[in-house]
């Protein structure tokens, strides 16, 4: 019961930290990285799995917080398969994401909206 409550608090804190980081990245890259790292730390300590929307904000290679339009470049694939390529501008790592199910989950990042 207590564990459940502390997880609830952790989740809330993570959400706040990520929201802050997303806001901060426009002006202060370093601060955004600090907060996003803290969020990840909390998740690890409480063994919470970060939701997909949050996980994709971290580069898979350098683990830094990347934000579309700022430290990541997003390109939409030309083929019929709806896919996007995300390039981390910090380490140059490119990874692909296929958009098929629940693409509206990405709408907060304004990625898929232009192709609707």
CB of 103 to Zn ion, least distance (A): 24
Report the distance separating Cα 66 and Cα 16, nearest Å.
17
Instruction: Using the minimum distance from each CB to Zn ion, give the nearer residue, 81 or 91.
Output: 91
CB of residue 4 to Zn ion, shortest distance in Å: 35
The dihedral sign for the CA sequence 48, 57, 114, 84:
negative
Closest CB 96 distance from Zn ion, rounded Å: 15
Nearer to Zn ion, 52 or 95 (CB): 95
Binding site for Zn ion (CB under 5 A): 59, 61-62, 88, 90-91, 93
d(CA 68, CA 78): 19
**Virtual torsion, Cα 89, 91, 111, 56, nearest 10 deg:** -140
- Return the number of the residue (69 or 81) whose C-beta is nearest Zn ion: 69
């Amino acid at each position: 019961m207590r564990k459940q409550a502390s997880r609830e608090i952790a989740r809330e804190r993570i959400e706040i930290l990520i929201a802050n980081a997303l806001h901060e990245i426009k002006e202060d890259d370093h601060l955004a990285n600090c907060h996003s790292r803290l969020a990840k730390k909390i998740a690890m300590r409480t063994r919470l799995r970060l939701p997909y929307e949050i996980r994709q904000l971290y580069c898979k290679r350098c683990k830094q917080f990347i934000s579309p339009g700022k430290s990541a470049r997003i390109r939409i694939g030309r083929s019929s398969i709806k896919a996007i390529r995300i390039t981390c501008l910090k380490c140059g790592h490119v990874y692909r994401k296929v958009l098929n199910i629940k693409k509206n989950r990405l709408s907060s990042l304004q990625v898929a909206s232009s192709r609707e």
